[in-house]
């Protein structure tokens, strides 16, 4: 089996995959435009990416059966197109949660104490102790966390550790009980959360319902001089509205993600947002601690190894949670050649689609039981004729799936 690692990953991951007998090609210099050719030339069965986008047009190249995103989201992958081609898409959720939450808290403290500006002035030979002694302090302040996933909840816990009063919002009230079970307040109205927070941090995936979530109404609700943080996805934020909030509403912001980011380990960028005096920024490093990279590498190896061993993969995001099968055909049979092909031929003739199949061998290896999930019930005549047409079928019956 051939694996293409198209983004930077700890070298130990490739070494461990090779130790499993897999053929691994590492090329972190690949871009989306060259990814398809690399897959075709390598004949890759598995693709591992981090930030490289995987559009529909590259999915037909190589012999792809699995794409692993070495990170939490899958917004860089055309999941719908992968599903149409029967390609697994897996990710590594939760492996970088602490790294992102630690950066978020670091940025929050940096906003309050104006650390980047103080350092820049000292490096320029300026001693401005009076100016930088005006921090508000964070203990007792109100922290609003937007998103109750792994990262959002990690930020909530760490903010509480600073003595802040934390309130959490999540879409449609989801995870309300889990949030309250940890002792945090839950606010179902996003604008109310914004209006009653001294600092607000975004921790959501990029979806059609979250894009532009932090817009004019959101920033208009923030109190004068509030802190705003985004270490999740750039497209959650209307950056024009953010710039107005910084210039008019005195909002101070810290972002790790923004429109116009560079690519790879080194690049040059020209982004007007970064010139705003009330903004500090980092170059998309939220998940980039050694601890997080080790955890992600471990998970990538686990996913690929599982696929190599069994043909199925853990942590897959594009497999139906509930099968559309309406019935299950139970076939108890002798362990002989041609039994199941006889059953499948009958289903084919009846235009009945087999959606899932499991065949269990009993001790001694002489008999089996097959469970075939199907999309409609066969006629009684088929249920009667199939076992009569093969003497190795001991019993056949139909069960309706509830």
Instruction: Report yes or no: 66 and 307 within 8 Å, Cβ to Cβ.
Output: yes
Strand blocks (E) in 326-391: 327-334, 354-361, 367-374
| 3-state DSSP assignment of residue 402 | coil
Pairing of strands 142-146, 88-91: unpaired
Instruction: Report yes or no: 1 and 44 within 8 Å, Cβ to Cβ.
Output: no
Residue 101, φ and ψ in degrees, nearest 5: -65, -35
Task: Decide: residue 152, CB within 10 A, 0-12 exposed, 13-18 middle, 19+ buried.
Answer: buried
35: alpha, beta or left? (left if phi > 0; alpha if psi -120 to 50): alpha
Q: Which residues are catalytic?
A: 233, 261, 284
Burial 319-345 (b: 16+ CB within 10 A, else e): eeeeeebebbbebebeeeeebbebbee
Residue 55: CA count within 13 A, CB half-sphere: 7
Helices (H) and strands (E) in the chain, counts: 13, 16
């Amino acid at each position: 089996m051939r694996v293409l690692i198209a983004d930077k990953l700890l070298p130990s991951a490739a070494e461990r995959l090779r130790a499993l007998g897999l053929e691994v090609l590492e090329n972190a210099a690949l871009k989306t435009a060259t990814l398809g050719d690399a897959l075709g030339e390598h004949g890759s069965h598995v693709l591992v990416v981090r930030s490289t986008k995987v559009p529909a047009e590259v999915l037909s190249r190589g012999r792809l059966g699995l794409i692993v995103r070495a990170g939490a989201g899958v917004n860089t992958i055309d999941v719908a197109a992968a599903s149409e081609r029967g390609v697994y898409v897996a990710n590594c959720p939760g492996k970088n949660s602490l790294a992102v939450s630690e950066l978020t808290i670091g940025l929050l403290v940096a906003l309050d104490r104006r650390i980047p500006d103080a350092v820049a002035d000292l490096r320029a030979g300026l001693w401005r102790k009076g100016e930088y002694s005006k921090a508000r302090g964070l203990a007792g302040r109100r922290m609003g966390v937007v998103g109750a996933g792994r990262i959002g909840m990690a930020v909530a816990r760490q903010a509480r550790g600073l003595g802040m009063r934390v309130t959490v919002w999540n879409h449609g009230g989801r995870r309300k009980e889990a949030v309250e079970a940890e002792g945090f307040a839950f606010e179902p109205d996003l604008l109310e959360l914004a209006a009653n927070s001294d600092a607000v941090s975004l921790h959501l995936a990029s979806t059609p319902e979250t894009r532009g979530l932090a817009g004019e109404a959101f920033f208009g609700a923030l109190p004068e001089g509030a802190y705003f943080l985004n270490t999740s996805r750039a497209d959650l934020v209307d950056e024009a509205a953010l710039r107005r909030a910084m210039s008019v509403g005195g909002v101070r912001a810290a972002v790790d993600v923004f429109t116009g980011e560079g690519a790879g380990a080194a690049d040059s960028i020209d982004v007007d947002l970064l010139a705003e005096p009330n903004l500090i920024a980092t170059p998309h490093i939220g998940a980039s601690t050694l601890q997080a990279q080790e955890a992600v590498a471990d998970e990538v190896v686990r996913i690929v190894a599982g696929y190599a061993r069994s043909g199925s993969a853990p942590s897959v995001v594009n497999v139906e949670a509930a099968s559309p099968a309406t019935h299950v055909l139970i076939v108890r049979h002798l362990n002989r050649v041609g039994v199941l092909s006889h059953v499948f031929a009958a289903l084919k003739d009846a235009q009945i689609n087999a959606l899932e199949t499991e065949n269990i061998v009993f001790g001694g290896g002489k008999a089996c039981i097959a469970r075939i999930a199907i999309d409609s019930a066969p006629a009684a005549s088929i249920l009667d004729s199939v076992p009569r047409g093969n003497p190795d079928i001991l019993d056949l019956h139909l069960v309706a799936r509830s």
